[in-house]
Amino acid sequence: MPAVSFQAISKTFATPKGPFAALNQIHLDIQEGEFFGLLGPNGAGKTTLISILAGLARASSGRVLVQGSDVQTDFANARRKLGVVPQELVFDPFFNVRESLRIQSGYFGVKNNDAWIDELLENLGLADKAHANMRQLSGGMKRRVLVAQALVHKPPIIVLDEPTAGVDVELRQTLWHFVARLNKEGHTVLLTTHYLEEAEALCGRIAMLKAGRIVALNRTSDLLQAASGSMLQFKTDTALPPALAMVARVTGRIVQLPANDAAEIESHLAGLRVAGVDVHDMEIRRPDLEDVFLQVMSGTSASNIPLDNIASAAAPGRPKQGVVLSGGSEDTPVPSVGAPL
């Protein structure tokens, strides 16, 4: 039985401009013990999907099962199995950290939970803040409390909705160390993040959402392998020639140019030489998840794949059915008929 099963989830919002489809026929199974990443640009539907899972929103159609419990008809059992870290930095100003955790514990009917609360405080670096009022904590500390609140009833499935947005490096390290440990101990983790290097480092499998649809779904390693060619990366202060500027990804001084083969790399270099571009720290590297992400989001990959096929991409424990990035690689057969997992 999957830890989480999204079955044909659609969500339509009524807006002044007419109905808006935030999610469109999402099929997705997350297996027990997975560290699963949900990626997508702002407005892709990630938080809406998480909200439907957590019972904060209702799907317009379809259903979600958490270890077999329907999040609507059997919500109490489903919610007991979920620990959700919300995206917004929210807190109850009336209570201190320990009170907040005890109260959250009580909502789930967990009594005498101080030993586990102490362990959470210790592991999240909150031990010396146990009696501090929530209002007195910095943003990073509040974020840690949110994580502790989500874990206080020892849920088998942990859902983290952009938990590292705007937090410092130290907290990110603490958080990932702790969550990775929980995952090793058997917890299923569902993560949404904007930090693609985090997803690449942590997630065994990744789904990419775009405009309410899954546009890529596979093992992280397979996604990376499927990404086409190489990246030519260098630093420069000189303007690029127009032909290269059109295909380049520029971040400050750093320029990245996708290249399918050696000939294309040569052609890029020739273009740079002719234009007299002053190049430093040049390297040729394999595409990372950010490259894959941008390829998928730009629509150069996967956009022409029927949705059912995407839904049926390989999950752990199943025969690999092929990488979903259709445009990315020739050796990635896309199944012609896909069934929802």
Partner 1 sequence: MTGWQTLFYKEVLRFWKVSFQTVAAPVLTAVLYLLIFGHVLEDHVKVYDSISYTAFLVPGLVMMSVLQNAFANSSSSLIQSKIMGSLVFVLLTPLSHWAWFVAYVGSSMVRGLVVGVGVFVVTFAFARPEFVAPLWILVFAMLGAGLLATLGLIAGLWADKFDQLAAFQNFVVVPMTFLSGVFYSIQSLPPFWQAVSHLNPFFYMIDGFRYGFFGQSDTSPWLSLTIVGVAWLGVSALAVHLLRIGYKIRN
Site for partner 1 contains 84 (CB under 8 A)? yes
Which one among 41, 43, 58, 282 touches partner 1, defined by CB under 8 A? 58
The distance from CA 293 to its chain's CA centroid, rounded to whole angstroms, is 11
Site for partner 1 contains 76 (CB under 8 A)? yes
Q: Which is nearer to partner 1, 74 or 122 (CB)?
A: 74
Its sign, for the CA torsion 117, 122, 124, 125, is positive
Site for partner 1 contains 108 (CB under 8 A)? yes
- Pairing mode of beta strands 61-66, 205-210: unpaired
Which one among 104, 188, 228, 312 touches partner 1, defined by CB under 8 A? 104
The nearest distance, CB 152 to partner 1, in angstroms, is 10
- Total chain residues near partner 1 (CB under 8 A): 30
The nearest distance, CB 304 to partner 1, in angstroms, is 32
Give me the sheet containing 35-39, strands edge to edge: 82-85, 157-161, 188-192, 35-39, 205-210, 213-219
Q: Phi and psi dihedrals of 209, rounded to 5?
A: -105, 140
Site for partner 1 contains 107 (CB under 8 A)? yes
* Cα angle for residues 105, 145, 68 (degrees, 5° grid): 50
Three-state DSSP class for residue 277? coil
* Residues 234-273 within binding reach of partner 1 (CB under 8 A): none
Q: Which is nearer to partner 1, 96 or 218 (CB)?
A: 96
Contact map string, positions 110 to 149, toward partner 1, x by CB under 8 A: -x-------------------------------------x
Helix (H) or strand (E) run with residue 174 in it: helix 169-184
Q: Where do the H-state alpha helices sit in 192-311?
A: 196-202, 220-226, 242-247, 262-275, 289-297, 307-311
The nearest distance, CB 214 to partner 1, in angstroms, is 21
Q: Rounded to an integer, what distance in angstroms lies between the CA atom of residue 102 and that of residue 131?
A: 12
Which one among 20, 43, 68, 94 touches partner 1, defined by CB under 8 A? 94
Which one among 77, 300, 303, 329 touches partner 1, defined by CB under 8 A? 77
Site for partner 1 contains 95 (CB under 8 A)? yes
Give me the sheet containing 61-66, strands edge to edge: 18-30, 4-15, 61-66, 69-70
Which one among 55, 125, 204, 316 touches partner 1, defined by CB under 8 A? 55
User: What are 67's two structure tokens?
Assistant: 């270890």
Contact map string, positions 144 to 183, toward partner 1, x by CB under 8 A: -----x----------------------------------
User: What are 1's two structure tokens?
Assistant: 């039985």
Helix pair angle (114-123, 139-151), 10° resolution: 140
Q: Rounded to an integer, what distance in angstroms lies between the CA atom of residue 197 and that of residue 188?
A: 20
Which one among 14, 16, 17, 93 touches partner 1, defined by CB under 8 A? 93
User: What are 315's two structure tokens?
Assistant: 């999950």
Which one among 41, 68, 106, 139 touches partner 1, defined by CB under 8 A? 106
Q: Which is nearer to partner 1, 107 or 261 (CB)?
A: 107
Q: Rounded to an integer, what distance in angstroms lies between the CA atom of residue 289 and that of residue 210?
A: 16
Which one among 5, 25, 51, 218 touches partner 1, defined by CB under 8 A? 51
Per CB under 8 A, residues contacting partner 1 are: 51, 54-58, 75-77, 79-80, 82, 84, 86, 88, 90-95, 99, 103-104, 106-109, 111, 149
